Amino acid sequence: MSSFKVFDIAGSGMTAQSVRLNTTASNIANANSISSSVEQTYRGRHPVFAAELAEARRMQGEVSGVQVLGIVESDAPLNMEYNPNHPLADADGFIYKPNINVMEEMANMISATRSYETNVNTADAAKKMLIRTLRLGQQQ
């Protein structure tokens, strides 16, 4: 019964989107985490999605949901700011701010939320189809 697979597929999509939402939340929360060296500064994190092809091939089935390959840190340059009066300023008077664009993260958050909702709707529609099928021929 392939309607059951729809739940797996939609579920994998929901998991992936919630990981994306988590990283976005982490990025927004740390957008103003200032530090005094390049190494210690928080960097924007983004998940990498991939279709579950290897898994699908192994099972000889056609299920290809989404998997999160990993979370990568952004290589974009950090925002350096000359602020010698700041308590975290280094010897040269610089403070380091994360390479996060809050607007970008907000847009990412909205996109992840919408995609999550779409997956929920898919699972919901599959559930209704299944229930209707199970009731087939039971009306009097």
Partner 1 sequence: MSISFQKAFGMHPEAMVIREKRTQVLAENIANADTPGFKARDIDFQQALAHAQHRQGRSVSRTHEKHFHIDSSVRKELQYRNPDQPDTGDGNSVDIHRERNLFMQNDLAYRTSLQFLDGRITSLKKAVKGQ
- H or E element, residue 97: strand 94-97
Give the pair of three-digit tokens for residue 17. Answer: 């989107």
Closer to partner 1 by Cβ: residue 49 or 94: 49
Instruction: Work out how close the CB of 32 gets to partner 1 at its nearest, in angstroms, rounded to a whole number.
Output: 27
CB atoms inside a 10 Å sphere around CB 57: 10
CB of 98 to partner 1, least distance (A): 23
CA distance 30 to 96: 12
Q: Does 65 bind partner 1 (CB under 8 A)?
A: yes
Stretch that binds partner 1, among 37-45, 71-79, 80-88, 124-132 (CB under 8 A): 124-132
- CA R_g for the chain: 22
CA distance 33 to 24: 15
Among residues 30, 74, 101, 122, the one that binds partner 1 under rule CB under 8 A: 122
Are the beta carbons of 69 and 48 closer than 8 angstroms? yes
The answer to whether 58 contacts partner 1 (rule: CB under 8 A) is no
125 binds partner 1 (CB under 8 A): yes
> What's the CA gap between 117 and 24, in Å, rounded?
17
Q: Which of 64, 74, 101, 113 binds partner 1 (CB under 8 A)?
A: 64
Told to check if 129 binds partner 1 by CB under 8 A, we report: yes
> HEC string of 28-54?
HHCCCCCECCCCCCCCCEEEEEEECHH
Cβ closest to partner 1, residue 2 vs residue 32: 2
Footprint on this chain of partner 1 (rule: CB under 8 A) = 1-3, 5-6, 9-10, 12-13, 16-17, 20, 48-51, 62-66, 111, 115, 118-119, 121-122, 125-126, 128-129, 132-133, 136-137, 139-140
